[in-house]
Structures are given as C-alpha cells and as structure tokens.
A and B are shown apart, each in its own frame.
Chain A
C-alpha cells in the first residue's frame, strides 16, 4: 500500500523559507509516477504547486515557480519542497501526492499524504 507522510516545521517566519519533506513507503519513487505538492489554505480550496519525476523533470504552477524548489532523493525515497520568501498568504496545509502525468500534462493524484499545517507568522 502506497503511503506518504509530510514532515517539517509547523511555524515559519515571514520572508523565510518553508521546507517540507514527504516520505514515501510501499512504493519506489523511481517506479514510473510523478510526485506532487498541493496546498490548501485554512477554509479554502486546493492549489497545485508542482509535480516532479525522479529524473528531475517537472510540471510547475507558473504563479509559484519563482519561489518554489521541488526535488527528490531516490536514496531515501523522499521528495522535498522549499518555498522562499513566505508571507501569511502561504499559511496552508501542504499535501504531497502521487501524480499520474504524461508528456504534456498531469491528470490524477491518486495517493495523498495526511497533510502538514504550516503557519507563517512572526
């Protein structure tokens, strides 16, 4: 059974960098799927951030790309998210998920982590 678990600091100061890790178990991240990050501000809807293949190929959200770095560590079966220069608007639950993507687009997020709440506040 594919399982994903997000981890990282729950509180980040404004202008600093938000860093999260997603640990994947029950499936190798090198086995043919992309892996993505999605966030959800409290009481609001879902926003896709980026999806990455283990080779480094990515699909990204243009509205966030300038502040986002997503990477994979195949030795640890993990992916990570860094979001720079955060503001209160970046306060959200951050989810990692397995993504089905083809050459030009992504279609499905079929397995999700439980989510990690990150609050941006001084």
Chain B
C-alpha cells in the first residue's frame, strides 16, 4: 500500500490534455521534491520530471509538473498514441520508515 495515491486511469483523445494527480502528506510531497516516471508497455521506467517541475534533456515540453502543498500533478498536452502507458510519481518519505516511495501508478489511455 503506497503512501502516494494516484488515480488508476485517465484517458483522452489524441491532441487533448490529461492531468494526473499524486496525493501524499507532509511526510513526503509536502517537504520533498517530486519526480514523475513514464513506463511504456514492456519497457523500463523513464524519468519525465524531477524537482517538481524540471524536465530532463530530451523530454518534450508537452510534459509538465507542478506541486502544491501535499499534492503534485503531471500534465500531458497534445496527447499522442505513443504516450500510452503507466505513470508514477515518486519522492522521499520522512516518516518513521524513511524511504523512497512511488505512487500507485496511473494508466494513460489514448482514445
């Protein structure tokens, strides 16, 4: 049971926008940087967003990240069929069992 909660799935038509939420607490999101990872079918996760809202080199600006309080959001604009896959948030959790935690994951479907 992850301490970071994401919606199980989101969907939209090609060209549209989706947002994925990641809800946590002051033990994790509220006091630490958030990352987002993309996992396309049959592949390893790939870093999409780090430090809440920064994109690694090569990641298109269709992907954006934000954080407010104990929640973070990933936005994908201009949705493409190649964006179909699972998306995970991640951050450090400072609770008694301090560890890196991933969100429950969200499946993005392009209709």
User: Chain A residues in contact with chain B, CB under 8 A?
Assistant: 36, 38, 45-48, 51, 59-63, 95, 100, 105-115
What string of 1s and 0s marks CB contacts (under 8 Å) between B80-111 and chain A? 00000000101110100111111111000000
Distance A111 CA – B47 CA, assembled complex (angstroms):
7
A48 and B44 in contact, given A106-B92, A110-B56 (Cβ under 8 angstroms): no
State which size class the interface on B falls in: 20 to 34
A112-B35 contact given A59-B100, A106-B100, A107-B51, CB 8 Å threshold: no
- A110 near B101 with CB under 8 A, answer no
Q: Is the interface of A mostly helix, strand, loop or mixed?
A: strand
Whether A45 contacts B2 by the Cβ 8 Å rule is yes
Could you tell me if A108 and B47 are in contact, using CB atoms closer than 8 angstroms?
yes
Q: Which residue of A lies closest to B101 (CB)?
A: A48
Docked pose: A105 CA to B102 CA in angstroms: 14
